[in-house]
Amino acid sequence: MNTKQENITAISSGTCPFAEQTFPFPRDDRWPMDPPAEYAQMRAQEPISKVKLWDGSDAWIVTRMEEFRELMTSPHFSADPNTAGFPFISPSRAAQSRSYQTFITMDPPDHGTFRRMLTKEFMVKRMQAMRPQVQAALNRLLDDMECDGAPADFIEKVALPLPSLVISIMLGVPYEDHSVLQEWSKDRQNLSLAPEALTEAARNMEAYISKLLHEKELDPGDGEDLLSRMAIDWVNPGKLSHQDAVQMGVLLYLAGHETTANLIGLGLVSLLQHPEQKEALMANPLLARGAAEEMLRFHSITHMNSNRVATQDVEIGGHLIRKGEGVLALLHAANHDPEVFTSPDAFDIHRETKDQAHVAFSFGIHQCLGQPLARLELHVVFETIFRRFPTLQLAVPFEELDFKRNVFVFGLNSLPVIW
Ligand code: HEM
């Protein structure tokens, strides 16, 4: 045994005070936008702790930024749910992982091979070229909301249709099909859904994208949308199978609208709860950039990402994680780490740049590919919304807001507003 291995073996894997607690922890009904209280307790007492999962198995939980980054950049962890010991946080997630395999759940070198096929599609410059389109779509949605009158459900009128419209245009998916696609997406995020129902939603979505892609393979035109370009560049020349391209299309549709939609809704609530920050943003729309970063950090909506399994014995933060042990790297907890962020549980759009070094888009090779698009949409919405509706406010008390429960991506079911 070499010295490194001896050292690792000598490290105590600890008796964890949280080992009998079952993950996920519920949020406090009174403060549903805050992380579960257990995260702070764990960070203070045992930043790498063991918890129980629904099936009785154990998994490690990582709650501090330092170890989160260490883990996400370590080559000794796999994102592939087929690797023995991979931690599933619910039966529906196990079904979700079995239902499709694309680069978000792949390891190198395959992960890079597929991801690189899409990199140029999400370059910041390309996204910025979409700004006029995003602004025009938002203006139209806001016109409709105004025309229909108050009270309005901001999720239904703006937060959901905007990213949904944008990703539909980008991919070349007919927007008139958004209702059915959104239903399937919603099912796939639901942690309480029966695995059979989730598998059915996944199959329906796959069949939909498969048919659409097939049409684009036969007639890709000038490659006006991303799926057509995939057909021209990769599928038709035989460099990518139809099935792999379908899975990539499904991932982009899923990742491309639910996430940003949820954050637009939660971000608006946070600003309405902090009128002085809302006023500052109204006076200086350039603050929308800092506001977007703070919304990303504070809400950490993909609160159940990023799960991994060790592919060999490895030390993280003084703990020995053995080959085949699952780890839940909680970016929501890392984004509220007081060693990195001043007053981490306060919402503050004026944070210094160094205080914006969040991991809401994760870290390492699986870091969100669509982040320039998400940022663009957030900037456009929060530069515009209070200029158009300076008196916008909640139509119901905060306590009556309908937050999503037991979902993979956190957000609101509805958001009644008046102006
Ligand atoms: C506020 C909005 C968003 C948030 C918070 C977010 C968050 C994340 C996170 C945390 C991951 C890493 C998952 C992991 O480590 O396992 C990820 C991956 C990914 N996201 Fe996003 N995302 C957002 C919007 C988008 C958009 C608009 C798209 C584009 C259509 C997108 C496409 C992707 C893709 C393709 C991956 C997989 C990257 C890889 O595995 O290499 N996301 N996202």
For the chain, what is the largest distance between any 2 Cα atoms, rounded to a whole number of angstroms?
73
Q: What is the pLDDT of residues 166-201, one digit of tens each?
A: 999 999 999 999 999 988 888 887 777 788 888 888
For every residue of 287-298, DSSP letters joined together read GHHHHHHHHHHH
Cα-to-centroid distance, 64 and ligand 1 (Å): 21
Q: Where are the domains of the chain?
A: 3-418
pLDDT at 143 over 60: yes
Probe ligand 1: pick from 368, 379, 382, 407, max atoms within 8 Å of CB?
Answer: 368
φ/ψ region of 83 (left if φ > 0, alpha if ψ in -120 to 50, else beta) reads beta
> Is the pLDDT reported for residue 7 higher than 70?
no
Alpha carbon of 12 to ligand 1 centroid (Å): 35
Give nearest CA residue, ligand 1 atom 3: 259
Instruction: Summarize the confidence of residues 44-48 as an average pLDDT.
Output: 89
What are the tens digits of pLDDT across the range 127-136?
999 999 999 9
On the question of pLDDT at 269 being above 80, the answer is yes
Measured from CB, residues less than 6 Å from any atom of ligand 1 are 79, 103-104, 115, 167, 251-252, 255-256, 259-260, 263, 301-302, 305-306, 360-362, 366, 368-370, 373-374
Q: Which of 93-102, 212-221, 285-294, 371-380 has the lowest mean pLDDT?
A: 93-102
Which residues fall within 8 angstroms of residue 202, CB to CB, at 6 or more apart? Answer: 95, 96, 99, 100, 184, 188, 250
Examine residue 17 and say whether the peptide bond preceding it is cis (omega within 30 degrees of 0).
Answer: no
Q: Which CATH number is 3-418 given?
A: 1.10.630.10
- How far does residue 360's CA lie from ligand 1's centre (Å)? 9
Say how many Å lie between the CA of residue 370 and the centre of ligand 1: 6
Share of the chain above pLDDT 90, in %: 76
Smallest CA-to-CA distance from 15 within 67, 55, 58 is with: 58
Pick the atom of ligand 1 nearest to 263's CA. 1
